[in-house]
Structure 1
């Protein structure tokens, strides 16, 4: 079972809101997931990214791989904290 850190979409039509989740790579985009790590709201200016760092480090330690989109969001979140 390959575990990925990825986005799942919430919100209404034309008003997206995303959760950053840990899920099996074969599960559907909005299907079953293992854990919620944070949220991403692209409609705010600047985009709001909230991540639970302890959960993130725990899952990365267990071998979960972030998708390219989540990897770029993690870089933005780390840059905005400084």
Structure 2
């Protein structure tokens, strides 16, 4: 039996409340579970002790039995110090969209053109000064 430690939603509409449960992975999200391991109330402030409550001993037992955690529960366990923090890979998160890339390209092109324009007049008088000094000699 493939076990998962996951969130089961409770509460009314627009007022979520979650139970942290150990369940068979084939069961529905809010369906049958084997054991309730804790609660999570996202409506409370992040620094509140009542926001996430877990029976850490039972969580460790289920992890020892081979249960897999969902991403959200894994983050809660990392914050509680139960499991080691894992490196996540989300390569598209930091990548801008097509229009943002186009705007950035235009901005760099304008900046490069402005830098060339600013550098060109500064070079011309210097060349004239060099020519004048050569003519005087």
**Same fold, TM-score > 0.5, yes or no:** yes
> What does residue 2 of structure 2 align with?
2
Q: Which has the higher contact order (CA 8 A, sep 6+)?
A: 1
- How many residue pairs were aligned? 78
Unaligned runs of 5+ in 1: none
> What does residue 73 of structure 1 align with?
76
> What does residue 24 of structure 1 align with?
24
TM-score by length of 2: 0.55
Aligned Cα root-mean-square deviation (Å)? 1.1
Please list the CA deviations of residues 3-38 of structure 1 after superposition, one character each: whole Å capped at 9, or x if unmatched: 000000011110000000000101001111000000
Name the one with the larger strand percent. 1
Name the one with the larger helix percent. 2
Runs of 4+, deviation exceeding 2 Å: none
Whole-Å separation in 1 of the counterparts to 2:60 and 2:16: 26
Is the aligned partner of 1:11 residue 2:14? no
Higher Rg of the two aligned structures: 2
> What does residue 51 of structure 1 align with?
54
> What does residue 63 of structure 1 align with?
66
TM-score by length of 1: 0.89
Whole-Å separation in 1 of the counterparts to 2:80 and 2:18: 15
